[in-house]
Amino acid sequence: MGVSQTKPNLQIKKINWEALIHDLGQDFADRASKYDQEGSFVEENYAQLKEHRFFSAMVPQEFGGGGISHAEMCNIIRIIAHYCSSTALAFSMHQHLVAATVWKYKQKGQGGPLLERVAKEQLVLISTGARDWLDSNGEMEKVEGGYLFTAKKFFASQSASGNVAVTSSPWKDDEGNWHVLHFGVPMNAEGVTVLDDWDVMGMRATGSQTIQFDKVFVPESSIALMRERGEFHPVWHVVLTVAMPLIMSAYVGTAEKAMEIALSIGKKYHRNKEHITYIIGRLNNSLLSAQTQWRAMYSLTNNFDFLPKENTTIDILSLKTNVADAAQQTVREAMEAIGGQSFYRKNGLERLFRDVQAAGFHPLPKWDQYAFTGEKLLAGN
């Protein structure tokens, strides 16, 4: 992207990122209900995160970032969800693209210019990959020096405010073979439009609008990967291993906040007094299931020190399904603990219940994950 390969010689101030995000979180919590009711993007929260350089917190220090570990970023996202789950989820989408680039840099010495830009400009990266998976969607017309790209990309979190869309599209070569090309597109490029269509049940403030690309020029130099369409490519072993723990951090934090509310109100809620100990005990088991399997997810990432392989991907996807189920169960049981009180918006659980429903829609949705895992395991025997 026209950035020098030379690493900046910067002295990075030691930051207590966890304490800082708790401080900012108080402001996030004050705005959460307003953003949810309006369905508007968490602009003010993002402005604060940029001001304090959270978007480059995981970027290595040699590129001007904070140099924190993958596990530390997972924990930051979990904490953000205690205050605003929409902010946590949107932020995780940027971080998983940064994480994939950090792995690429640490393992292959590539990706430095993008990491430098993220640190210098607090660049916000947008992923459009959730719906693309193996086939992708869109059209690529070959022209001199590159391609003209046309597509609609749905569920593009932070598209309301991001800078670069990291996307893909199918392309048919001269021999009639289908491929998928992966590339980045600046959001201010000619032909890029963000549609105002994110009117949904939960995670309403993530700004996950549809991005419309209309004959957007993509230079040949921007193509980062070409793979066979419909086939599983090894790049997914990297992307899924670093991305899923970060994304599910938002839902673990949401579940933890639900239990916190259930305990606070449940102590004073007399209608369930004969059963409250049973309900809270069961609730704790559900939350513990979500937490322990989430920790197992980011332990597989091993702070970017892993080799991409099928067994790890199978485990990551299976754990993702289990964490999603456990987080949703935790919020449901938290609602049971306080009964009808959970219906009042003022108590917060109603919003958490709507937000946690999104957990199951991230790649791979449950039944797709079962089929993928089963197929891979059977093929290995």
Residue 344 has pLDDT above 70, yes or no: yes
Between CA 294 and CA 311 the distance in angstroms is 17
pLDDT at 1 over 70: no
Cis amide bond preceding 288, omega within 30 = no
Instruction: Look at residue 266 in the predicted model and tell me its pLDDT.
Output: 83
One domain for residues 207 and 187 = yes
Together in a domain, 281 and 357: yes
Residues 6+ apart with CB under 8 A from 217: 143, 146, 147, 148, 149, 189, 190, 191
Q: What is the mean pLDDT of residues 6-30?
A: 81
| pLDDT score at 14 | 83
Residue 372: the pLDDT is 94
Write down the pLDDT at residue 10: 47
- The model's pLDDT over 112-125, given as tens digits with 9 standing for 90+, comes to 999 999 999 999 99
| CATH number of the domain residue 106 falls in | 1.10.540.10
Name the pLDDT band for 52 (thresholds 50, 70, 90): very high
Closest CA to 82 of 27, 154, 29, 160: 29
Per-residue pLDDT at 12 exceeds 70: no
Domain shared by 366 and 274, yes or no: yes
Torsion angles phi and psi, residue 152, rounded to 5: -120, 125
Residues 91 and 188 placed together within one structural domain of the fold: no
Number of domains in the chain: 3
Residues 177 and 253 in one domain: no
Q: What is the mean pLDDT of residues 33-54?
A: 98
* Mean pLDDT of the region 165-180: 96
pLDDT band, very low/low/confident/very high, at 276 (cuts 50, 70, 90)? confident
Query: Mean pLDDT across the stretch 295-314?
Result: 97
The verdict on 246 and 374 lying in the same domain is yes
The answer to whether residues 251 and 359 belong to one domain is yes
pLDDT at 6: 45
pLDDT for 131 equals 74
Q: Averaged over 76-85, what is the pLDDT?
A: 98
pLDDT digits (tens, 9 = 90+) for 185-207: 999 999 999 999 999 999 999 99
pLDDT value of position 268: 79
Pairing type for strands 164-172 and 211-219 reads: unpaired
Which of 184, 207, 228 lies at the terminal end of a domain, its last residue? 228
Percent of the chain with pLDDT over 70: 95
pLDDT bin (cut points 50, 70, 90) of residue 381 is: low
State whether 120 and 143 are in the same domain: no
Range of the domain at 97: 17-124
What are 275's two structure tokens? 């059963």
Which of 90, 124, 158 lies at the terminal end of a domain, its last residue? Answer: 124
SS (H, E, C) the chain: CCCCCCCCCCCCCCCCHHHHHHHHHHHHHHHHHHHHHHCCCCHHHHHHHHHCCHHHCCCCHHHCCCCCCHHHHHHHHHHHHHHCHHHHHHHHHHHHHHHHHHHHHHHHCCCHHHHHHHHHHCCCEEECCCCCCCCCCCEEEEECCEEEEEEEECCCCCCCCCCEEEEEEEEECCCCCEEEEEEEEECCCCCEEECCCCCCCCCCCCCCCCEEEEEEEEEHHHEEEEEECCCCCCHHHHHHHHHHHHHHHHHHHHHHHHHHHHHHHHCCCCCCCCCHHHHHHHHHHHHHHHHHHHHHHHHHHHHHCCCCCHHHHHHHHHHHHHHHHHHHHHHHHHHHHHHHHHHCHHHCHHHHHHHHHHHHHCCCCHHHHHHHHHHHHHHCC
- Both 267 and 151 in one domain: the answer is no
- Interval 227-239 mean pLDDT: 94
Looking at every residue in the chain, the average pLDDT score rounds to: 94
Provide the pLDDT for residue 270: 63
pLDDT at 353 exceeding the cut of 80:
yes
Q: How confident is the model at residue 4 (pLDDT cuts 50, 70, 90)?
A: very low
Q: Which of 48-62, 267-281, 313-327 has the lowest mean pLDDT?
A: 267-281
The residue among 228, 263, 298 that closes a domain is 228
Is the predicted pLDDT of residue 158 greater than 90, yes or no? yes
Task: Look at residue 183 and tell me whether its pLDDT is greater than 60.
Answer: yes
pLDDT at 11 over 50: no
pLDDT at 9 over 60: no
Instruction: Return the pLDDT at 274.
Output: 76
Q: To 5 degrees, how large is the angle CA 199–CA 203–CA 209?
A: 45
Global model pTM greater than 0.85: yes
For range 248-275, the mean pLDDT: 88
Q: Measuring CA to CA, how many Å separate 71 from each of 25, 58, 117, 294?
A: 19, 10, 23, 10
